[in-house]
Amino acid sequence: MESHRTPLSRLGRFTGLPVEWRRNVNGPTVPRTNGINRDERYMARALQIARRALGRTSPNPMVGAVIVNRGRVVGEGYHRSAGAPHAEVEALRKARERSRGGTLYVTLEPCNHTGRTPPCCDAIIASGLSRVVAAAKDPNPLTNGRGLARLRQAGIEVITGVLERASLRLNEPFRKAITSGMPFVVAKVGQSLDGKIATASGQSRWISSLASRRLAHQWRSRVDAILIGINTVLQDDPLLTVRGAPRRSGRPIKVIVDSRLRTPTTARCLSSRSPAPTLIATTVRSETKRRMLARCGAEVLEFPARQGRVPLRRLCRRLVRRGVQSILVEGGGEVLASALAERIVDRIAFFIAPILIGGRAAPTSFSGSGASHLSRAIRLTDVTYRRLGPDLCVEARVVYPTGARGRRQGARVLQKSRAPRPAPRAPRAGR
């Protein structure tokens, strides 16, 4: 049930990463509380402060903690970045002896393992807290229930599941990556009202409004990697940096899907103006080219071809092993079609500008052969609509057709989308 009227119900309406990304992370200090119980109220506060570290904690989750004693908040904290103290430890440091006999509200089960930092359970037990309310279990196999069990064994009252949905959604990339080995993938499309991503001659700057582009940069600042296809490199020569939004050193990693290893060493995303690491995924083994690209700071990852293309699932798994939990796929049409065909996309966002481009030869957002039957089309759910200047942003969860027919269809789309590709144009300089 998501259809309450209270402000808190909005927490339950988070529909995944982009919706998370949109929230004001420095909202009011105490959430409004009409119609919700006390545990939910403090948990809402813990979720709110967890969000302050949005885009900065991976490969760790965002976590917030609030300590309450005799009806008063005596300590708060959140996990700022991987390697930094955990949320509970931050809150305990603030509360000091005032935590004795109090309640800890924490958005994720406290850890019971030694990672980059010592187990939170030890600190909680030592502090004399008498009650712990956790929103959700930690899916990390190192914890996954062990933290809660340990606290119960120590005689602490433990309650779970308070605002659980909001907690699960807060850390969707972390959860997906740690439980499945696959990253959380958001595809972003900037297109005209008639579904074109460029003119027939390849011109695409700018279809989207400034407001849309600003939001897109904010999203870039909150993911671990941006992924684009070689055609976009050759056509648009993007810098792939974050502009006008907070930057995190070394992030987002740039990933170029380049089956035939055509990335020019002069590509702007390899220049010193774009300092985050660049990975080029290819199916070609060329020591000379690899060395040339390495000299420009790019690392080449080789994969066995899957129908002539880079196998995106395998690429994704490799990226997760390097700490990448969230990816923004920015196109073009070929990569987006392959990403859908390989079913790696979790959510999709369209920035639709009120402009008509037309023309059979002008590329559309998704290439490939498309669904042969409506029953095999990819349905979107959890759809939100938002105005951005003159543009409309439609953002949704991707639902793949189920059953063998749907899966075969996916493979066919991939096969057919190999066929004709437009001849690449020479990279343009100076943009």
Binding site for Zn ion (CB under 5 A): 86, 111, 120
- Helix H, strand E, coil C: the string for the chain is CCCCCCHHHHHHCCCCHHHHHHCCCCCCCCCCCCCCCHHHHHHHHHHHHHHHHCCCCCCCCCCEEEEEECCEEEEEEECCCCCCCCHHHHHHHHHHHHHCCCEEEECCCCCCCCCCCCCHHHHHHHHCCCEEEECCCCCCCCCCCHHHHHHHHCCCEEEECCCHHHHHHHCHHHHHHHHHCCCEEEEEEEEECCCECCCCCCCCCCCCCHHHHHHHHHHHCCCCEEEEEHHHHHHHCCCCCCCCCCCCCCCCEEEEECCCCCCCCCCHHHCCCCCCCEEEEECCCCHHHHHHHHHCCEEEEECCCECCECCHHHHHHHHHHCCCCEEEECCCHHHHHHHHHCCCCCEEEEEEECCCCCCCCCCECCCCCCCCCHHHCCEEEEEEEEEECCEEEEEEEEECCCHHHHHHHHHHHHHHCCCCCCCCCCCCCCC
Q: Does 120 bind ligand AOF (CB under 6 A)?
A: yes
Q: Does 140 bind ligand AOF (CB under 6 A)?
A: yes
- The listed partner (Zn ion, ligand AOF, none) that binds 87, CB under 5 to 8 Å by sort, is ligand AOF
Find the binder of ligand AOF among 20, 40, 76, 88 (CB under 6 A): 88
Nearest distance from residue 389's CB to Zn ion, in Å?
42
Q: Does 111 bind ligand AOF (CB under 6 A)?
A: yes
Find the binder of ligand AOF among 74, 87, 234, 339 (CB under 6 A): 87
For ligand AOF, the closer CB: 125 or 301: 125
Q: Could you tell me how far CA 358 lies from the centroid of its own chain?
A: 32
Active site residue 90: no
**What phi, psi does 153 have (nearest 5°)?**
-60, -30
- 47-86 positions binding ligand AOF, by CB under 6 A: 60-61, 63, 79, 82, 86
- The listed partner (ligand AOF, Zn ion, none) that binds 79, CB under 5 to 8 Å by sort, is ligand AOF
Residue nearest to ligand AOF (CB): 115
| CA 211 to each of CA 199, 353, 395: distance values in angstroms, whole numbers, following the listed order | 21, 11, 16
Nearest distance from residue 174's CB to ligand AOF, in Å?
7
Enumerate long-range contacts of 377-384, CB under 8 Å, 24 or more apart: 377/401, 378/340, 380/348, 382/15, 382/16, 384/15, 384/19
For ligand AOF, the closer CB: 85 or 331: 85
Q: Does 253 bind ligand AOF (CB under 6 A)?
A: no
Find the binder of ligand AOF among 116, 321, 379, 421 (CB under 6 A): 116
For ligand AOF, the closer CB: 25 or 355: 25
- The listed partner (Zn ion, ligand AOF, none) that binds 63, CB under 5 to 8 Å by sort, is ligand AOF
- The residues with which 218 forms a beta bridge, in sequence order, are none
Nearest distance from residue 169's CB to Zn ion, in Å?
21
For ligand AOF, the closer CB: 138 or 391: 138
Total binding residues toward ligand AOF, as defined by CB under 6 A = 18
Find the binder of ligand AOF among 6, 33, 117, 369 (CB under 6 A): 117
Q: Does 146 bind ligand AOF (CB under 6 A)?
A: no
Nearest distance from residue 120's CB to Zn ion, in Å?
3
Q: Does 364 bind ligand AOF (CB under 6 A)?
A: no
Q: Does 138 bind ligand AOF (CB under 6 A)?
A: yes
Nearest distance from residue 201's CB to Zn ion, in Å?
55
* Cβ(298)–Cβ(280) below 8 Å: yes
Nearest distance from residue 106's CB to Zn ion, in Å?
9
- Residue 297's identity, in one-letter code, is G
Q: Return the CA Rg of the chain.
A: 23
Nearest distance from residue 245's CB to ligand AOF, in Å?
23
Nearest distance from residue 384's CB to ligand AOF, in Å?
28
Catalytic, out of 20, 76, 88, 342: 88
Find the binder of ligand AOF among 115, 311, 323, 370 (CB under 6 A): 115
- The listed partner (Zn ion, ligand AOF, none) that binds 116, CB under 5 to 8 Å by sort, is ligand AOF
Catalytic annotation, residues: 88
Q: Which residues bind ligand AOF (CB under 6 A)?
A: 60-61, 63, 79, 82, 86-88, 108, 110-111, 115-117, 120, 138, 140, 143
